Each structure stands twice: as C-alpha cells, then as structure tokens.
Amino acid sequence: MHSKEQISHDEYQKTADWLRSQTRHRPQVAIICGTGLGMLADALKCQDSFAYSDIPGFPLSTVHKAEQTADQRTDRKEPTKITTFPVRVFKLLGVKTLIVTNAAGALADGLQPGDIMIIKDHVNFPGLVGLNPLTGPNDDKFGPRFPAMSACYDKDLRCLAMDIAKQLGVSGLMQEGVYAMVGGPNFESIAEAKLLHRLGVDAVGMSTAPEVVVATHCGLRVFGLSLITNKVVKSYVDSDSVNHEDVLEVGRLRSQTVQQLVTEMISRMDINNNTTNNAV
Ligand code: HPA
C-alpha cells in the first residue's frame, strides 16, 4: 500500500509501457535539458517526440519547482518526487546513462559566463533539509534504502568530456567543479552567495540534484554539465544583478558547443561494450 504522497512502482511501469508501445527506439542514454538548453534535443536523428501532456503520469515541464507545486497533477506529492518521475521511467525503459544539464551562476572566481562546468559533486541543499525524492518507504526494486552518493558523477565520463573538449578546441571554457542546488525561485542574496562560496560551492542552480540522487539510487551512470550563465553577486559594491533573460541568452550563445560536446560524448561512450547514439 502506498500513501498518496508516494508514487507506486506500477505508476512508473505504466508510463514506461506506454512509451515502449509508442516507439521502436530502445534508448541507452537519457538527457535532461536545463533552462535554455532544450536545443540539445535537436541533435537527435530519427526522433519520436511526445508532448509531456500526452505521456501518462508525466509531470508538466515548468521552469521552477515553485510553479509545479501549483500544478493540479502534483496532487499532494512532494515536488522532488514529481520532477524525478522521468528518471525512474528511464530506468524501466532500459536506459543506462543519464546526462543532466543545467544553467548555473558562478561563485568560483575562475568561472565566467559562457564557461561549461563539468559537475564533479553536488550539495543538495533541499535534500539536506528533507526535501528528498527518496523519502518515504523505499522501493527496493529500484535501489537500497541508504544509497551512497560519494561517486554519483562518473569519473570516466568526466575524463571523456575533457578529452572531447580538447579535441573540439573548447577546453579553455571547461573545468570541473562542485554544483549546489538551492530551492529558488529567487536568485541568491549577497549574504547567501558569500555563504555558498565559503562552503566550497563553485556554481549554484535550482535543479538537477534530485534527479541525480534518484538516478544514482537506481544504478544509472550520471554525467552532469552546468552552463555558467552569470556570476553570482558576492559583494555589496557590485551593482550588477542577474535576471532570467541573461540566463537564456548565454544558453543561446553556447548552444552549439554544448550540443557538440554532448553528441560526441554519446557517440563515444562505452555502453555495455556497445557504442550507440540512441538517446531520449
Ligand atoms: N543562481 C541560482 N540559479 C541560477 C543562477 C544563479 O545565479 N543562474 C542560473 N541559474
């Protein structure tokens, strides 16, 4: 028996079965496109595409979690359980690797707007205070009650990304770093930015960590990229402040590079000793 806040295994299975009945593709890699990075899907050849609203059980795509709590379909379920729903569906579809991308603000002095940060580790602030998609009864069919998060961003894939960046001549734009997820939807105050920076965070955004937690729990291999869209204001003498339009603009500016990088990664990653470019 599942409480109303929980999503049952059957609900994930129903969605996966529906998708399998609608396409002959059997993807090995899934990509979650962050704010302003939806163009990653354009690189897919032979696509079958579905509107979120047509997929049974799928959450509607919104920019910020705050809007999702107002969505009728969320019922009484906790928002991170809704946003991570597709990850378990990917698992049931046979996906082995999840690629996550997001837009993030730079706290590290060495990161500039337009840079691409390979996520080495994360701080899941909502998770630390209990907004964690794995709360409630554990679904043992997906993974263990207390999963480790000490190696959630696959090292081989991080190395592969760096190699590819060199070949594409964009290694100057790329470095590894620690990503922190905050709840949003407001951008950080200066005191919050200073705090995050002191805690060792290189870039901050409002997404991704719950999906990575759920993917790691069910044994998916994860690769993550943050596109740095702005510098987070950390000083009271700065007059700059970030806005959503700037975030989208940097997405457009770097769309081709991010697309090339991700496409090349998928074609070169070793999936059960097969190289494939199937993705959803
Ligand atoms: N803070 C939080 N989320 C973000 C930012 C930021 O500065 N930029 C893009 N997403």
Residue 276 lies in a domain: no
Task: Tell me which residue has its CA closest to atom 10 in ligand 1.
Answer: 104
pLDDT band of 273, cuts 50, 70, 90: very low
Pocket of ligand 1, beta carbon within 6 A: 103-105, 187-188, 204-206, 229-230, 232, 242, 247
- The answer to whether residue 3 sits within a structural domain is no
Residue 220, domain member (yes or no): yes
Asked whether residue 278 is assigned to any structural domain, the reply reads no
DSSP-derived secondary structure letter, 206: S
C-alpha 252 – ligand 1 centre gap (Å): 16
CB–CB of 17/94 below 8 Å?
Answer: no
* Residue 121: strand, helix, or coil: strand
Phi–psi pair at 115, nearest 5 degrees: -70, 160
Q: Which whole number is the average pLDDT over 171-183?
A: 97
Residue 65 lies in a domain: yes
pLDDT at 71: 46
Between the CA of 230 and the centroid of ligand 1 the distance, in Å, is: 7
Is residue 279 a part of any domain in this protein?
Answer: no
- pLDDT at res. 247: 81
The domain spanning residue 96 has which CATH number? 3.40.50.1580
Cα–Cα distance for residue pair 140/194, rounded to 1 Å: 40
Over the stretch 63-107, which tens digit does the pLDDT of each residue have?
A: 544 444 444 444 567 788 899 999 999 999 999 999 999 999 999
Quick check: 265 and 174 in contact, CB under 8 A?
no
The mean pLDDT of 97-125, rounded to a whole number, is 97
- Residue 120 to residue 178: CA distance in whole angstroms: 6
CA of 176 to the centre of ligand 1 (A): 17
- Where does the pLDDT of residue 117 fall: very low under 50, low under 70, confident under 90, or very high at 90 and above? very high
Structure tokens, 259 = 């697309």
Atom of ligand 1 nearest to the CA of 205: 3
Closest C-alpha to 251, from 229, 226, 225, 224: 229
Compute the distance between CA of residue 232 and CA of residue 225 in angstroms, rounded to an integer: 18
pLDDT at 180 over 80: yes
Measured between its terminal Cα atoms, the distance across the chain in Å is 32
246 vs 1, more confident: 246
| Mean pLDDT taken over the chain | 88
State the distance from the centre of ligand 1 to the C-alpha of 187, rounded, in angstroms. 6
Residue 137, pLDDT > 80, answer yes
| Cβ–Cβ < 8 Å for 22, 68 | no
Per-residue confidence (pLDDT) for residue 163, from 0 to 100: 97
- How many domains is the chain partitioned into structurally? 1
For atom 3 of ligand 1, the residue with the nearest CA is 205
Predicted confidence band at 182 (pLDDT cuts at 50, 70, 90)?
A: very high
Which residue range forms the structural domain that includes residue 176? 9-271
Contact 253, 170 (CB under 8 A): no
Predicted confidence (pLDDT) at residue 271 exceeds the cutoff of 80: no
Residue 66 is predicted with a pLDDT of 44
